[in-house]
Amino acid sequence: MDLLNTLVDKGLRRETPTRAEALAVLATTDDELLDVVAAAGKVRRHWFGRRVKLNYLVNLKSGLCPEDCSYCSQRLGSKADILKYTWLKPDEASRAAAAGLAGGAKRVCLVASGRGPTDRDVDRVSDTIKAIKEQNEDVEVCACLGLLSDGQAQRLREAGADAYNHNLNTSESTYGEITTTHTYADRVDTVRKAHAAGLSACSGLIAGMGETDEDLVDVVFSLRELDPDSVPVNFLIPFEGTPLAKEWNLTPQRCLRILAMVRFVCPDVEVRIAGGREVHLRTMQPLALHLANSIFLGDYLTSEGQAGKADLEMIADAGFEVEGAGEVTLPEHRTGGGCGSHEGSGCGSHEGSGVCGTVPASASAPAASASADEPRPDLVAVRRRGAGTDLAPNA
């Protein structure tokens, strides 16, 4: 297929595809899907080999958020039956992080619900970062605390944070349909603040909220322009009790096309399969490793994920290897300083005030007669273990 040959050539040169080419990837047929995966896989292997970076989420403060993001189980007015608790103490957060690190995670993502941190909250998170790094000197720490005020990104970096996550989530033209309590411009401003402070910027998207192909291409091109180092691709978890509970718009094939499109537009950045991979990719998860070079290990913020042991087995069975603590994730041209840079710019990583969750290892397999695009609310399980509970996590 001429399109795929062109996209591979551009990806190896770090050249931006056209919008028409990106849209054409999303419009490919199921008969062409393996060709699309193989082509994007060439780009992924060129820049990242067969390494898979593992990341681990610690939900520092769960629920009761004043923002009205329609996708989020922690939103204002959410009726989702999730865990709700206030800030974990630094030693509690450090113990929670240790479970993921023991399972092979290289980066810990510290997330807190809310519009954005107060200065006191930044102090709390700074103490938590120091506690984690005292026990694990080489760990990467990413903070995800919502909208940042002036000076807060610099304070987090001085405390030892390596990265900051704040997702764009969807296109600028449709953002107001998803959230009304802050703007798309607010999100862009926070990513820029993180970048300017020398933090590795992480910003991504959520697919499956009823957006068009054009919306998906818009947000990914916007991410490339912002030039973060990692882009988490979340697949909407339609939590009961949220406005998007009935939005079951994704199939495994659709998810793979989206990941391939992101890889072609952002060839040399860390593309992370984030919330929702177990719910929507299901048994096709190993194929997604040919497109993305990073995943979350274990549970998510408010929902359960695949068991950590199953993640490690999947990576090995698919012929990939876990990236070691001493290995540099990004290509050399992106690691010269801060977030790195390249002509045309790149992409970023995971969910704003909450990464959507995923499927428990104990969830029953789909019935043989189930359609691939049939809603699967049985695969959405609220997290009841790990941070904020007395139960061990599944990392």
Q: Residue 295's beta-bridge partner residues?
A: 54, 273
Can 109 be counted among the known catalytic residues?
Answer: yes
How buried is residue 391: exposed, middle or buried, by Cβ count under 10 Å (0-12/13-18/19+)? exposed
Please give the structure tokens belonging to residue 385: 């273990």
Catalytic residue among 187, 224, 272, 334: 272
DSSP assignment string, 180-231: SSS-HHHHHHHHHHHHHTTPEEE--EEE-SS--HHHHHHHHHHHHHH--SEE
Enclosing H/E stretch for 141:
strand 140-144
What torsion do the CA atoms of 95, 100, 104, 109 make, to the nearest 10 degrees? Answer: -110
Q: Tell me if 146 sits within 8 A of 110, measured CB to CB.
A: no
Catalytic residue among 14, 44, 72, 277: 72
Can 272 be counted among the known catalytic residues?
Answer: yes
Catalytic residue among 14, 69, 157, 224: 69
Among all chains, which residue has been given the structure tokens 């957006």? 211
Can 69 be counted among the known catalytic residues?
Answer: yes
Catalytic residue among 75, 107, 142, 334: 142
Catalytic residue among 44, 75, 107, 109: 109
Q: Tell me if 109 sits within 8 A of 56, measured CB to CB.
A: yes
Can 266 be counted among the known catalytic residues?
Answer: no
Catalytic residue among 144, 202, 255, 356: 202
Catalytic residue among 14, 44, 65, 339: 65
Count of other CB atoms within 10 angstroms of residue 384: 15
Can 339 be counted among the known catalytic residues?
Answer: no
- Enzyme catalytic residues: 65, 69, 72, 109, 142, 202, 272
